[in-house]
Amino acid sequence: MLLDRLQRPFRGVRIVHKSPSPDDPDAVSVQIIPYRRLEDDDVQRILAQVAAQEVARRGRIVTSALASSEQTAFRAAGFVDREALHLLRHRLTDIPAHTGSAHRTRAGRRTDLHAVLAIDRDSFDRFWALDREAFTAAKKATPTHRYRIALVDGTIAGYAITGRATQSSFLQRLGVAPEHRGKGIGSQLVIDAMHWAKNDGATSMLVNTQTSNENALRLYESLGFVLSAEQLMVLQWTP
């Protein structure tokens, strides 16, 4: 799916319009990303605007991952469950040492984007994969962020985006190329992210992952992340 444009018709909400594949039965035409808790009339106004633009006819409307307290207005409007996500937290009080092979890392550059997006497509299924605009939005989602690249023999092998807002930090994105998995690259990038967040003033880090992604869950738990009893939920509305 390609991202067409980003709009902000409502305070604290991003509306992402996508170009769904016509042969995809789960095609998504719009994603609603709230940065505040929405009320019933907020969701109804968003749906009315989407319907007026006729984009709802092309596919389903989905939300970003929401906590249970953020889901009420969407459920009242007829949204139902699409996918559950694990939520994990690290207190950043006891960051583990990296014991695997140390790979060279550096700050991400604009010229890295093509290779990084290819890794992203190989790391996530179609619904979750980022394109250029969504990747930029992920970096801008928090007041400060760290974009880090891991290299193997001069080739980009993995990347991580970490954000911080006040004392909370977020592992926004982590991907490792399939041919370089199992070499400790993911662990190295996560540990680097935790040290950066702590030094930048954060006292905790959050990350979410698909419930089906057992490898990611094992990685985070091995590094001291604790699985929350509450799951996040992506909701969907079908015209």
Residue 79 sits in the same domain as residue 99: no
Does 90 map to a domain? Answer: no
Task: Tell whether the model's pLDDT for residue 235 goes beyond 90.
Answer: yes
Please, what is the angle between helix 214-222 and helix 185-199, to 10°? 50
Three-state DSSP at 220 gives: helix
Element containing residue 195 per DSSP (H, E): helix 185-199
Please, what is the angle between helix 113-123 and helix 132-139, to 10°? 90
Does 200 map to a domain? Answer: yes
Q: What residue numbers bound the domain in which 199 lies? A: 95-223
Residue 136 sits in the same domain as residue 47: no
Structure confidence by residue, pLDDT tens digits, 11-44: 778 887 776 565 666 677 788 888 889 999 999 9
Residue 8 sits in the same domain as residue 120: no
Does 35 map to a domain? Answer: yes
Does 191 map to a domain? Answer: yes
Residue 106 sits in the same domain as residue 130: yes
Task: Tell whether the model's pLDDT for residue 5 goes beyond 50.
Answer: no
201, 237 Cβ separation under 8 angstroms: no
Does 36 map to a domain? Answer: yes
Residue 14 sits in the same domain as residue 35: yes
Residue 106 sits in the same domain as residue 195: yes
Residue 129 sits in the same domain as residue 79: no
Q: Which residues are bridge partners to 3 per DSSP?
A: 18
129-138 CB contacts, 8 Å cutoff, 24+ apart = 129/1, 130/173, 131/1, 131/2, 131/3, 132/3, 133/3, 133/5, 133/6, 134/3, 134/16, 135/173, 137/6, 137/14, 138/172, 138/173
Three-state DSSP at 170 gives: strand
Residue 77 sits in the same domain as residue 156: no
Give the per-residue pLDDT at 96: 93
51, 18 Cβ separation under 8 angstroms: no
Residue 183 sits in the same domain as residue 115: yes
Does 228 map to a domain? Answer: no
Does 65 map to a domain? Answer: yes
Average pLDDT over residues 4-16: 60
How many domains is the chain built from?
Answer: 2
pLDDT-based confidence at residue 1 (cuts at 50, 70, 90)? very low
Residue 215 sits in the same domain as residue 104: yes
Three-state DSSP at 168 gives: strand
Task: Tell whether the model's pLDDT for residue 66 goes beyond 90.
Answer: yes
CATH code: domain of residue 171: 3.40.630.30
64, 31 Cβ separation under 8 angstroms: yes
Three-state DSSP at 188 gives: helix
Three-state DSSP at 11 gives: coil
Element containing residue 235 per DSSP (H, E): strand 232-237
Residue 147 sits in the same domain as residue 56: no
Residue 30 sits in the same domain as residue 67: yes
Tokens of 31: 């994603």
Structure confidence by residue, pLDDT tens digits, 118-141: 999 999 888 788 888 889 888 888
